[in-house]
Structures are given as structure tokens and as C-alpha cells.
Amino acid sequence: MKNKKITRKITQGVYSLTTKNGGCIVDAVSQISSGDNPLVAVAVMNSNFTNELLKENDTFAISVLDKEVDGKIIETFGLNSMRDINKFEEIETVEINEIKIIKQSIGYMLCEKVDMIENETHTLFIGKIIEADVFNDLEPMSYSHYQSHKDEILKVKTEDGKTAWICTICGYIYYGDSIDDDFRCPICGADKYDFKIKEN
Ligand code: FE
């Protein structure tokens, strides 16, 4: 592949995907249809705990995050697992039909799961929108804006005296003098070429 970074030019946003007992940050959301059968598709990594929850649960919600989003929302939902922390204790939410959505968002789509498509690494969940609301007129965060402003958004801090490598896909930070050739990001699976060194 000459340069797979062209995929970052696909216009997509940054969202919080929540379901009963968990949630994560996603970018691969797409509207499939509108009208009487409003469908959306969202892809979630198989290794992600939210993926397990989505397979058990019948409903999920997508909260649309804005360009000035509080980095704590992305950090809490994107760089942590409910296996380790309770994300809903860290971030303010509003409950809609038993699903917690992000209060500080542009709005949400509550979906009923209607289909799942599996591949080696991800599951594509297809949902029918059963409830939705718009809270404000803020500008949505685009994935490319997030990629180019991630340091400011996440306010990445490095530990003293260590070299930090940041995954440019998900924001995970690896500390060490070098990265092995076969290193993979434990959060998103990106390879070493997607890591950049953080200047102290
Ligand atoms: Fe990553």
C-alpha cells in the first residue's frame, strides 16, 4: 500500500457509542437509509468490551460529539475499558430508554439493533433509529480534525524522563525508548508506523 492514510480523508465524525453497561468512542458511523426505515451502521472492534455488550443488548445509542468536546469524554470512553473503570461515573449522562447518552453532546440517536455483520477484526452493527434529539447547533467533530488536534484535545502528558509514543489512531500512549517492529497498539491494533514520538 503506497499510503493508507488516504482513508483518513474519508469524511466521518467522532461519536460516543453507548449501550447497557458500557460504551466506547467510534468513528465508523454511517447513515444507511432515512425515511420510514432510518438505519445507521456502526463498526466496533471485536476486542472491545462494548462489542460483547452490543451482542447481548438490543439497543444502543450514538451521541454526536462536537469540535470543542471535552477531551475527558474521549479519554474516558475511548482509551479505557469498562473492565477497568466505570465510565458512567466519570462523565455526565442522560438516560433515554435505559441507555445512557452523553449530556455534553450535539444530540443522540437511539437505535434498535436489527443486524450484525462479522469480519475478522470488527462487527458492523446495524440499528434502526427509534428515538433521536438535537441539543444544540455546535459543529460536529470530524475524524480528520480529531486526528490533527489530538494532542490538544487529549492534553497528552508524558511521564518525566520517558519517551512517549502516541498512537495516532486512538491516542494510546506507549512509554519506551523504541517500538518493536511487530508492536501493535493494545487499544486499536495499529502498527508501529501509526505511532509518533512525543517531544517532551
Ligand atoms: Fe491505537
* Ligand 1 mean position, distance from CA 158 (Å): 16
Task: Out of 142, 166, 189, pick the residue that ends a domain.
Answer: 142
Task: Identify whether residues 24 and 88 lie together within a single domain.
Answer: yes
* Ligand 1 mean position, distance from CA 189 (Å): 6
Encode pLDDT of 50-82 as tens digits: 999 999 999 999 999 999 999 999 989 998 888
* Ligand 1 mean position, distance from CA 193 (Å): 11
Domain hosting residue 181, numbered range: 156-198
* Ligand 1 mean position, distance from CA 139 (Å): 25
Residue 38 lies in a domain: yes
The burial class, CB within 10 Å (0-12 / 13-18 / 19+), for 159 is exposed
Residue 153 or residue 133, greater confidence = 133
Task: Identify whether residues 41 and 102 lie together within a single domain.
Answer: yes
pTM as predicted: 0.83
Q: Which residue has the cell 437511539?
A: 110
Q: What is the CATH number of the domain that holds 191?
A: 2.20.28.10
Using CA atoms, how far residue 16 sits from 81, 90, 93, 196, in Å, is 13, 14, 11, 25
Q: What is the CATH number of the domain that holds 109?
A: 2.30.110.10
Task: Identify whether residues 35 and 123 lie together within a single domain.
Answer: yes
Task: Identify whether residues 161 and 82 lie together within a single domain.
Answer: no
* Ligand 1 mean position, distance from CA 48 (Å): 12
- Give the count of domains, the chain: 2
Rounded to 5°, the CA angle 7-11-16 comes to 100
Structure confidence at residue 176 (pLDDT): 82
Task: Identify whether residues 125 and 193 lie together within a single domain.
Answer: no
| Torsion angles phi and psi, residue 41, rounded to 5 | -120, 140
* Ligand 1 mean position, distance from CA 37 (Å): 34
Residue 6 lies in a domain: no
Using CA atoms, how far residue 48 sits from 52, 65, 76, 83, in Å, is 7, 20, 14, 10
* Ligand 1 mean position, distance from CA 80 (Å): 12
Residue 7 lies in a domain: no
**pLDDT confidence bin for 200, thresholds 50/70/90:** low
- Contact of 155 with 74, CB cutoff 8 Å: no
Encode pLDDT of 83-139 as tens digits: 888 999 999 999 999 999 999 999 999 999 999 999 999 999 999 999 999 999 999
**pLDDT confidence bin for 178, thresholds 50/70/90:** confident
Task: Identify whether residues 163 and 86 lie together within a single domain.
Answer: no
**What is the Cα–Cα distance from 162 to 133, expressed in whole angstroms?**
45
Q: Measured between alpha carbons, how far apart are the two ends of the chain, in Å?
A: 32
**What is the Cα–Cα distance from 34 to 51, expressed in whole angstroms?**
25
Structure confidence at residue 157 (pLDDT): 61
Q: What is the mean pLDDT of the chain?
A: 91
